[in-house]
Every structure is written in C-alpha cells, then in structure tokens.
Amino acid sequence: MDDHQDPRIGLTARRNARSPLKTRIAAASFGALGALGLGDALARGLGRARRLWAPSWRTRAFAGYTPTSHDVLVCTYAKSGTNLLLQMVHQIANLGAGDFEHIHDVAPWPDAPHPNGATLDDGGWARAPTGLRAIKTHLDAEHVPYSADARYIVVVRDPRDVVASAYHFAASVVHTLIDVRFEADEWIEMVLEDRLVFGSWAAHTASWWGLRRRPNVLLVTFAEVTRDLEGAVRRVAEFLGVRLDDEARARVVERCSFPWMKAHDAAFRPPVPPLPGRSPAVMVRAGRVGDGARFVDAETRARLDAFFAGELRRLGCDLPYERLIAGEPLEPGLA
C-alpha cells in the first residue's frame, strides 16, 4: 500500500502528499530553478511577493465563520511559541490524552499556506471530553472574528528571539526545495525593511495587546510559559474552565515539554513533503529564551530594539517593550 493511502497517516499529511497541481508545479519549479542556480533570486523575491497575496489571504481565512464556546483561538506572530500553546490547549482539552498524527489533524489553521486536515466546520471539538478545540492563527486581530463565546490566547515573544527562530526555520523550509542560505546580516535588513513573509511583528502585537483586558482573552509571554511550564498549564486550564487532576496535569506538562515535542517534531513541522533526497523542515529546534542574543551582536540587537520599540510607539501601542525583552511580567499582578 502507498504510504499516503495508509489510514494511519494523518489527513493533513495525506492532503499535502496529493496537494493541488499548482502546489506540485511550484515545488518542481523551485527544484528546477535551484538546479539552474536561480533559486537565490526566487527565494529573495518572496518577501516582496507576499504583499501581492496578503490582503485576500487575510480577509478570506475566517470568512463567514463565527467562533463558538467550543473554540480556543491561539493567536501568535510566527515563531512565538505557537505549537507549544496549541499542544497545551489540545492536551488540556483532552485531559492529557490528546493523540494525533499531526497537530493540524486536530487544530484548524484557517490562514495556513498549505492544506490541513482539521477545518473550522468539522466538529472536531466533539471528540474532546471537554468539548473544546484549539484553532491556530497568525493573523492580526482585525482579521480574526471576535466572539464573546470563544476564548483567545495571545502569545508574545521577544522579537529578537523571533527573528533568530524565524531565520533558522526559514532556512530549514527553503532547503526542502533549494540550496539557499541567507546571511544573518541580510536577514536583519529584511526585518528592518519589513520584507519578511511573516509580516510585521509590531502590527500583530499591537493589534492583540489592545484586547488583553477582555475576560475571554489571555495574553502570555513565551518567556513566562517556558520558565514555569506547569504554572502555565495551570493558568491556561483555569482560563479554559477545565479541572485537571494531578495525573492529567502531569501528562499535559510532559507532552508540552521540549524533549517530548522535539522527539515528536514530525507532528508539528510543515507537512509539505520535501523534494526527493532532501531532509524535511525542522519545527521544534531550540525552544528557549535568549536566542536573539546568540544570533546577532550587541550593536545589531540595539538596532532591532530601536526598530521594534519605535514601531510600537508609531502604532500607539503601550506594551512595555523593555519588560518584554527582560522576560518580566508585562503588567503588575500578571506573573
């Protein structure tokens, strides 16, 4: 039996293995251009090209959908701890016994760039004993439908760590198709010119920061979640109204730990198959605070700080940037 017909293979992987013709053509084109030595130019053009498709991509992701009391939306800028919080919500919803072939077999991602197994209307919440399910989105708040019935968990990460994590992730993804290596200096300039496919960290953060005091919105930082994983599990479970006994809580904590998630990287990585002879992308790489300091020197970090803090001010956002990069609670009483 073909692997991709095997019922043990999750729906997300199967859908990507037989992805639409245009996707297969795009992958083949990357491979061909890479073989001709033109891969660099194509990869470097993607940052600019994203501006062409972004508007319709943002507005159609949740078109016609109203979140319900079953929905827990995990709202993050890319590379900010998304899979950790998706896993946490899914495991809490399933009392520490949530199994899946791929995270997107159970957690819809409406704004995904590739096909997924779970969808907004598939009723997946009914399979959880709590009647809850996680939904992933990287969209700014204005493009995500708000409902007082649903719950929203927003994760904010030191943007310098985001830049470092995104650099390694992008290299891993691109290398599934072509041999391209962005130098760190070039990557930093792309960030400072707002040319990353991921969009603007400041705009995303500002859009969600303004909603943080709504009773159905929980804003956490990547630093506080990774510093006290069990405490984060308790806090998220309480926010979701789920009572975990000691055994269930221990299972959730274990399955959200870096070693567990690293050992199950295939369940979280992009499900698009690499070209023959190439390695799949790596999703769970380091999972730590402080990668930005390891990635660039002090002078470059200062440039990044000036840029991100300046963008937040320009957008009228009062998020305390210095507290964020110091790993401190963003507001008094929020530990």
The structure's pTM equals 0.84
Q: Which of 171, 140, 167 is nearest to 54 (CA)?
A: 140
- Residue 219, classed as helix, strand or coil, is strand
Render each residue's pLDDT in the chain as its tens digit; 335 residues: 233 333 345 665 555 555 555 555 555 655 555 555 545 555 555 555 454 445 566 788 899 999 999 999 999 999 999 999 999 999 999 999 998 888 999 999 999 877 778 899 999 999 999 999 999 999 999 999 999 999 999 999 999 999 988 887 666 666 656 666 677 888 888 889 887 777 899 999 999 999 999 999 999 999 999 999 999 999 999 999 999 999 999 999 999 998 898 888 888 877 766 666 666 665 665 666 667 677 788 999 999 999 999 999 999 999 999 999 999 999 865 44
For residue 19, the tally of other CB atoms under 10 A from its CB is 17
Q: What is the pLDDT of residue 38?
A: 46
As a whole number of angstroms, the distance between CA 105 and CA 119 comes to 9
- Residue 251, classed as helix, strand or coil, is helix
Q: What is the pLDDT of residue 287?
A: 61
Give the architecture (CATH level 2) of 3-325. 3-Layer(aba) Sandwich (3.40)
* Residues paired with 218 in a beta bridge: 153
Q: What is the pLDDT of residue 108?
A: 95
As a whole number of angstroms, the distance between CA 210 and CA 23 comes to 37
Q: Which two tokens stand for residue 15?
A: 């859908």
Q: Which two tokens stand for residue 101?
A: 């072939």
**Can you list the positions of beta strands (E) in the chain?**
71-76, 133-137, 151-156, 217-221
Q: DSSP class of residue 79?
A: T
Q: Which two tokens stand for residue 186?
A: 């070039």
For residue 121, the tally of other CB atoms under 10 A from its CB is 9
Q: How big is the CA angle at 211 (ends 64 and 66), to the nearest 5 degrees?
A: 15
280 and 265 Cβ atoms separated by less than 8 Å: no
Backbone angles phi, psi at 217, to 5 degrees: -120, 125
As a whole number of angstroms, the distance between CA 261 and CA 125 comes to 22
- Terminal Cα-to-Cα distance of the chain (whole angstroms): 52
Domain layout of the chain by residue ranges: 3-325
Distance from CA of residue 94 to its chain's centroid?
Answer: 21
